[in-house]
Amino acid sequence: MDDKDLELLRILEENSRLSAQEIGSMTNLIPAEVEARIHTLEESRIIRKYTTVINWEKAGNGEVSAILELKVSPERDFGYDRIAERLSRFRQVRTLRLITGTYDLQVMVSGKNMQEVSRFVSEHVAPMDRIRETATHIVMKSYKENGNTLFEQQETERLPYSF
Amino acid sequence: MRTFVSDRALQIPPSGIRKFFDLALTMNDVISLGVGEPDFRTPWNICEAGIYSVEQGATSYTSNRGLQSLRDALAAHLASRYQLRYSADNEMIITSGVSEGLDIAIRAIVNPGDEVLIAEPSYVSYAPCVALAGGIPVPVECTEQDHFRLNPDKLQAKITPRTKALIINFPNNPTGAVMKKEDLEPIADIVTDRDLMLLSDEVYSEITYESTHVAAATVKDLWERTITLNGFSKSYAMTGWRVGFLCAPKEICDAALKIHQYVMLCAPVMGQIGALEALRSAEDEKTSMVNEYRLRRNMFVAGLNRIGLSCHVPDGAFYAFPSVKGTGLSDAEFAERLLREQRVAVVPGSVFGSGGEYHLRCAYAVSRKELTEALGRMETFINGL
């Protein structure tokens, strides 16, 4: 990892669809080197995957999302890892984090509709061993996802020329 | 009726881009590379601080020098970032942008008939401000061969017994040139030997790509004869907030303060509160803006060279300054035809004084998408010549 790699990561995090040529022109690298460096970053699993931020609500295909707060009894030798990894395998779990505070695991889940989410929570998550308590919060509206605001912002007016 | 407009006002030349400005306003779909300000919005924490201050009733005058808290934070920032040491109490004035700082600095030191050297190409207000103060602006040309840095021999050649001061601006608008320590040292020797005052407009100091900016006052013995001008407009995308600052040894600062208190009283208070927030917690936003400018610079300058407009690589600010010599057009002709035929707005270099002829100032403070589109249109234009 060097400064150029960091620069590549910042570019890709913002827009992973740029071509090697475009990225090369921004970083003063030849396209082949851009590709080689990205390949190395992929191999080393620093780049996990390429994805898209979608405003599903606007797409008219709104999924239902919920935030689960789980209190968990940690296991000897494993702590929270085993149960967290087990939960992570479910397709419905989008994000899972161990956090400090009044509960232990924060889980973002999503499903096609409310029924699917509630069934997932009550049938798969809540009954799991070592989960002592669950609280489920339904997401009503999302304003920002992964650093991207989802609401329209007014264009500001700029003069065509200024010194 | 007699003419009421003063000789001095009459003597100031009109804006070199009025014609272009009016033309651009009548056109749709113009990509403007003519704008000398960041395209980013002010980071939200700064806006929020300004809004909150208004809600809290911070709507009155501040002390003439500016808020003590802002001056304290600024003194600490300048010391840690540039090793530039000024007392927050009597060597610093918060101004309404660098524009005001420049005006009061010049008026504080220039007597009628004094010659003031201006390293050109330069920002357009230096010469008029000198003239308004009764001084005589004298250009010192920075050439493309010198990468638009100030050449000590050229400076030496322009000094006369009437020379009072030198105005420099690095990182430079319009060329993007940067002066490193070793470039400033011979200038420092001349300025000291010839007993001149140095006015250093460092408003682009935070926007450098290869190394940290070197503040002129930190070079050799320049501190005691330097007025440092800087501001928040470019570094924190705060152009409309109108906050700058002037730093100078006490005697000079006191003189500038007298003018400031009569002509401006103080910089706008919400702007000062926003500026304080900028110093406290907008470092990351600033860095990410500079990172983005760097990417744009790389792709844009490479693109200009590819389409046949040779361009040195600017190490600071957000301007590229390509040459149009190869096209057979003057800079003004090129700029006007490019606007009319391909709807890309650039500023002809000659507007910025000697050394600017046959160049264009292209601000890359627009999105990468627009830069790519602008390059395409410029290529079409050049191929059609």
Contact B295 A26 (CB under 8 A): yes
What is the structure's pLDDT at B202? 98
CA B158 to chain A, closest CA, distance in angstroms equals 26
Q: How far apart are CA A30 and CA A23, in angstroms?
A: 9
When scoring A18, A33, A156, A163 by the number of chain B Cβ atoms within 10 A, the one with the most, hence best to mutate, is: A163
CA B173 to chain A, closest CA, distance in angstroms equals 8
**Average pLDDT for chain A:** 91
Chain B 269-308, CB below 8 Å of chain A: which residues?
288, 291, 295-296, 298-299, 302-303
CATH fold group of domain A64-140: Alpha-Beta Plaits (3.30.70)
What is the structure's pLDDT at A59? 82
Q: Which residue of chain B comes nearest to A154, CA vs CA?
A: B41
A156 interface with B at CB cutoff 8 Å: yes
Chain A 73-102, CB below 8 Å of chain B: which residues?
none
| Number of inter-chain CB pairs under 8 A, A vs B | 54
Residues in chain A with CB shorter than 8 Å from the CB of B368 are 26
A146 interface with B at CB cutoff 8 Å: no
What is the structure's pLDDT at B15? 79
| Predicted ipTM of the assembly | 0.73
A28 interface with B at CB cutoff 8 Å: yes
Q: pLDDT grade, residue A92 (50/70/90)? A: very high
Contact A26 B298 (CB under 8 A): yes
What is the structure's pLDDT at B17? 81
Residues in chain A with CB shorter than 8 Å from the CB of B125 are 163
B79 interface with A at CB cutoff 8 Å: no
Q: Write out pLDDT tens, residues B269-327.
A: 999 999 999 999 999 999 999 999 999 999 999 999 999 999 999 999 999 999 999 99
What is the structure's pLDDT at A90? 94
Closest CB to B302 among A25, A161, A163: A25
Chain B 29-68, CB below 8 Å of chain A: which residues?
30, 32, 34-37, 39, 41
The answer to whether B45 and B281 have CB atoms below 8 angstroms apart is yes
What is the structure's pLDDT at A53? 85
CA A143 to chain B, closest CA, distance in angstroms equals 15
CA A65 to chain B, closest CA, distance in angstroms equals 28
Contact B24 A158 (CB under 8 A): no
B17 interface with A at CB cutoff 8 Å: yes
Chain B 248-267, CB below 8 Å of chain A: which residues?
none
What is the structure's pLDDT at A55? 80
Residues of chain B scoring pLDDT < 70 = none
Task: Please give the share of chain A, as a percent, with pLDDT higher than 90.
Answer: 72
**Average pLDDT for chain B:** 96
The answer to whether B84 and B237 have CB atoms below 8 angstroms apart is no
What H or E segment, with its residue span, contains residue A108?
strand A105-111
What is the structure's pLDDT at A40? 96
Domain A3-43 coded CATH 1.10.10.10: yes
Contact B345 A160 (CB under 8 A): yes
Closest CB to B123 among A7, A159, A163: A163
User: Domain ranges in chain B?
Assistant: 7-42+284-383, 58-281
What is the structure's pLDDT at A151? 85
User: Domain ranges in chain A?
Assistant: 3-43, 64-140
Q: pLDDT grade, residue A145 (50/70/90)? A: confident
Domain B7-42+284-383 coded CATH 3.40.50.10860: no
pLDDT at A156 over 80: no
Contact A163 B302 (CB under 8 A): no
Q: Write out pLDDT tens, residues B103-152.
A: 999 999 999 999 999 999 999 999 999 999 999 999 999 999 999 999 99
Top-tier CATH class for B58-281: alpha beta
Contact B32 A28 (CB under 8 A): no
Q: pLDDT grade, residue A19 (50/70/90)? A: very high
What is the structure's pLDDT at B22? 87
Identical fold between A3-43 and A64-140: no
